[in-house]
Chain A
Amino acid sequence: MATIGHNNLNAKLVLLGDMGAGKSSLVLRFVKGQFLEFQESTIGAAFFSQTLAVNDATVKFEIWDTAGQERYHSLAPMYYRGAAAAIIVYDITSSDSFTQAKKWVQELQKQGNPNMVMALAGNKADLEDKRKVTAEEARVYAEENGLFFMETSAKTASNVNDIFYEIAKRLPRAQPAQNPAGMVLVDRPAEGTRAASCCS
């Protein structure tokens, strides 16, 4: 088992999306296994970490759960800068949130790391009767833009772990192609000196 030591990855992951789409709920379901019917608005951004075992490697996610409110949009680069992965979340019962999600994808394509693993999450999949965004529409959009797509439900836990697991699986493959933003993926035991990469 000691052989997996050098396969440990730290990966910065950011969640983006409209307010109320369920970013915090997804993270809390993934990290703490909790769900709150009334999840209060996130202020600024909340930081979580969670480790996943994928094949022979462990991936330690450093998760930035950003606030969806408009006032924080201009601050988003602070959180997605250098991220190895992003989950763009929308609410399947809100067309506006899907529109907003597309804007986030555009922004990341322009500003973000080109090797970033991007996932599109159609959250609140349990609210089928209130659906406004079809899975087909989202899937087509995701394919066109090189994202992988899943419908999730933080409430029922459906696909929540799966989406993080899928990201983790795709990460190691992206790893060798690291470029300037590679500071984020720190191989802890091997490069201890770089562990403080984000300190100024």
Chain B
Amino acid sequence: MSSADHDSDPPIRLDLPPLSPSLFDSEPSSELQQQSNGSAARPSSYPSSPTSSGYAAERGSSSTASSISQVDDVLHHEIQEITIHDSQPQPPSHSSWLPGKRHADEDDASISWRKRKKHFFVLSNSGKPIYSRYGDEHKLAGFSATLQAIISFVENGGDHVKLVRAGKHQVVFLVKGPIYLVCISCTEEPYESLRGQLELIYGQMIVILTKSVNRCFEKNPKFDMTPLLGGTDIVFSSLIHSFSWNPATFLHAYTCLPLAYATRQAAGAILQDVADSGVLFAILMCRHKVISLVGAQKASLHPDDMLLLANFVMSSESFRTSEAFSPVCLPRYNGLAFLYAYIHFFDDDTYLMLLTTSSDAFYHLKDCRIRIETVLLKSNVLSEVQRSLLDGGMHVEDVPPLPSSGSSPHLSQHRLPSDSPEREPNCHIGGVAGLWHFIYRSIYLDQYISSEFSSPINTPKQQKRLYRAYQKLFASMHDKGIGPHKTQFRRDENYVLLCWVTQDFELYAAFDPLADKALAIKTCNRVCQWVKDVENEIFLLGASPFSW
């Protein structure tokens, strides 16, 4: 057994030595080990667990002056009163997501509104409501004014309010010129994650309006921005929903639909052809996954822009009825100007976006689309895409048990039935050594691959919990105060979470909570090797637009 294990652990062709248990032992951050012990011993929601109290002390006091503690007190009273209701069972809300604005009849006087776990607000610096996740914006004018008062109270003192903790709730603030964004959440997500979500909401607003909306506030401080966002509730609700399932929202990377290398090449070649004829970006996507994309010379596309663009297009039903030509702004590319997007759905899932700077280019882009469609049909790309959708990408059950066995594996060859032999002895569910799930993020490519969910992470609730755990792990790995870290091994009542960050990649893996540490580490090495072996199929290689 031990010799087999040694065989299975060759110094893989990574630039860095493989992850090994000794790496963990030499890790100076004993604090992390403590954390995992602490949270294993107590229920994770216990308020004084090391994790959460550490946050409150660090964030609450570091960034803000004494004025904050006063505000904290005020809010504390109000929210305490609400949290009484929180102990009652909540209606299940995540089982099936319905698009669009819900509970529009609520306002801040409604108990149901106060019980919502996570609120997002956008308001102007004069306190006018712009967007609220729940409830009618106009009825929330008083509440918006309160938020504005808190922000300007602190700003008048020459400071900026970033976070207020009030019991279980965090109130996160983000100021973007004349636009204020606020999240009130009791989901225990890290401050950095919530702030990142506010950044994305702001970005989505820029996608629709560009930053030139600021000029409206310069002309008229009491400007009401809600009419400008008319009909876009669904875009924001869909983005907020993605904060609980789409890893791209915190990884700042995009993901590709797994496809045979030749298939992706065929799609890329015709897109390149089109890009040479004056198209700035040509992007072929399937749901939120990239099939292929190319950009004009020197034009680079940020993964966050892609996320926001894909969310904008997928959430708006109107794009599906026909061909559309719409102004869009890519905030990271140029937040001040509109580009023009030609958008066409080939089927329910697969769509093409051609972006240009010219508002007259519709008929040219339409011709481009017809050429692209002909090539995609001829080379069977669209049917391959549908097949990949059905098959899924990487399954943890398929992690090669012995990396040395078998020839260079392909995704399709690994589509083994669940009774595949050579399983590690101590696991009866999930993959090797109790591996339940993983996310691999390639730093150079700005891409990630997430394994398919399988037993026991079956339900949306479990998936959301794992997603939140990854999000927390990501935040702690990138924490500027105590990081950055290279490795982290964390065991609690739900999972063993293992994270490994190198110059080239980041690996996040979830195991059975009883998984053996040494085996888990060994499995992570295998996963990395497997990803390398199939990188031609799961990543878009040689994509120039992302090399900034």
Contacts and interface: CB of A to CB of B under 8 A. Distances in A.
Interface of A: 19, 24, 28, 40-48, 65, 67, 69-72, 75, 78, 196-200
B234 A44 contact: no
B318 interface: yes
Interface string B340-368: 01000000000000000011111110110
A196 to B, nearest CB: 7
A200 B367 CA distance: 13
A75 B234 CA distance: 22
A200 B324 contact: no
B227 interface: yes
B316 interface: yes
Contact of A47 (B312, B323, B358): B323
A70 B228 contact: yes
B362 to A, nearest CB: 7
B324 A44 contact: yes
Contacts of B358: 200
B324 A40 contact: no
Nearest to A28: B321
A40 B317 contact: yes
B209 A71 contact: yes
Contacts of A196: 363-364, 367
A200 B317 contact: no
A40 B316 contact: yes
A200 B361 contact: yes
A72 B340 CA distance: 13
Given A78-B359, A200-B361, A41 B230 contact: yes
Contacts of A44: 324-327, 341
B332 to A, nearest CB: 21
B46 to A, nearest CB: 45
Interface string B200-218: 0000000011000000000
In the A-B complex, the 6 residue pairs with the smallest Cβ-Cβ separation, listed nearest first, are: A44-B326, A41-B231, A198-B363, A40-B317, A199-B364, A69-B230
A45 B324 contact: yes
A174 to B, nearest CB: 22
B360 A47 contact: no
A43 B319 contact: yes
A50 B166 CA distance: 59
Interface in B389-420: none
A44 B326 CA distance: 4
Nearest to B361: A200
A111 to B, nearest CB: 15
A43 B359 contact: no
A199 B363 contact: yes
Nearest to A69: B230
A164 B55 CA distance: 64
Contacts of B228: 69-71
A198 B361 CA distance: 7
Contacts of B362: 47, 198
Contacts, number: 83
Interface string B222-256: 00000111111010000000000000000000000
30 contacts: A40-B231, A40-B318, A41-B316, A43-B312, A43-B324, A44-B325, A45-B324, A45-B325, A46-B322, A46-B323, A46-B324, A47-B323, A47-B324, A47-B325, A47-B362, A69-B231, A70-B228, A71-B209, A71-B229, A72-B327, A78-B359, A78-B360, A196-B364, A196-B367, A198-B360, A198-B363, A198-B364, A199-B363, A199-B364, A200-B361
Most buried by B among A40, A43, A45, A70: A43
Given A19-B230, A71-B228, A196-B363, A41 B318 contact: yes
Contacts of B325: 44-45, 47
Interface string B297-323: 000000000000000100011110111
A169 B93 CA distance: 54
Contact of B321 (A46, A75, A199): A46
A46 B318 contact: yes
Contacts of A48: 322-323
A43 B209 contact: no
A200 B316 CA distance: 29
Nearest to A197: B363
Nearest to B231: A41
A29 B230 CA distance: 24
Nearest to A70: B227
B504 to A, nearest CB: 39
Nearest to B227: A70
A44 B319 CA distance: 9
Contact of A43 (B318, B366, B367): B318
A41 B227 CA distance: 13
A45 B317 contact: no
B427 to A, nearest CB: 46
Most buried by A among B228, B317, B366: B317
A199 B317 contact: no
Most buried by A among B229, B231, B312, B359: B231
A43 B313 CA distance: 9
A71 B323 CA distance: 20
Given A43-B319, A46-B319, 20 more contacts: A24-B318, A28-B321, A41-B230, A41-B231, A43-B316, A43-B326, A44-B327, A46-B322, A47-B323, A65-B322, A67-B231, A67-B318, A67-B326, A69-B230, A70-B230, A71-B229, A75-B327, A78-B360, A199-B361, A200-B360
A200 B234 contact: no
Nearest to A24: B318
Interface in B166-212: 208-209
A181 B360 CA distance: 15
Contacts of B361: 199-200
Nearest to B313: A43
A45 B326 contact: yes
A36 B364 CA distance: 31
Contacts of B319: 43, 46
Nearest to B321: A46
A154 to B, nearest CB: 14
